[in-house]
Amino acid sequence: MPLSTDETGPQWRRRTAREDVLSWFGWATGLAVVGGCFFLISEKTIWEFVWSAPREAADLGARMVPPDWSYSSQLWRPLWDTFNIATLGTGLALVISVPVAFCAARNTTPSTAIARPLALFVIASSRSINSLIWALLLVVIVGPGVFAGVLAIALRSIGFCGKLLYEAIEEIDVPPVEAVTATGASSGQVLTYGVVPQVMTAFAGISVFRWDINIRESTILGLVGAGGIGLQLSASINNLDWSRVAVILLAILGTVIVSEWLSAKVRGALS
By CB under 8 A, tell whether 258 contacts other proteins. Answer: no
Kindly state the smallest distance separating residue 8's Cβ from other proteins, in Å.
Answer: 19
Between CA 215 and CA 239 the distance in angstroms is 25
Nearer to other proteins, 40 or 111 (CB): 40
By CB under 8 A, tell whether 17 contacts other proteins. Answer: no
- Residues 224, 226, 231, 247: which binds other proteins (CB under 8 A)? 224
Binders of other proteins: how many residues, by CB under 8 A? 57
- Residues 142, 185, 250, 262: which binds other proteins (CB under 8 A)? 142
**Does the N-terminal peptide bond of residue 66 adopt cis geometry, omega within 30 degrees of 0?**
yes
Q: Helix crossing, 76-104 with 146-170: angle to 10°? A: 40
By CB under 8 A, tell whether 128 contacts other proteins. Answer: yes
By CB under 8 A, tell whether 50 contacts other proteins. Answer: yes
Produce one character per residue of 89-118: b if its CB has 16 or more CB atoms within 10 Å, e if not. bbbbbbebbbebbbbbbeebbeeeeebbee
SS3 15: coil
Cβ count within 10 A of residue 155? 22
The strand pairing partners of 11, in sequence order, are 4
Site for other proteins, rule CB under 8 A: 30, 33-34, 37-38, 40-42, 44-46, 49-50, 53, 56-57, 60, 80-81, 84, 87-88, 124-125, 128-130, 132-133, 136-137, 140-143, 145-147, 192-193, 197, 200-201, 204, 216-217, 219-220, 223-224, 233, 237, 249, 252-253, 256-257
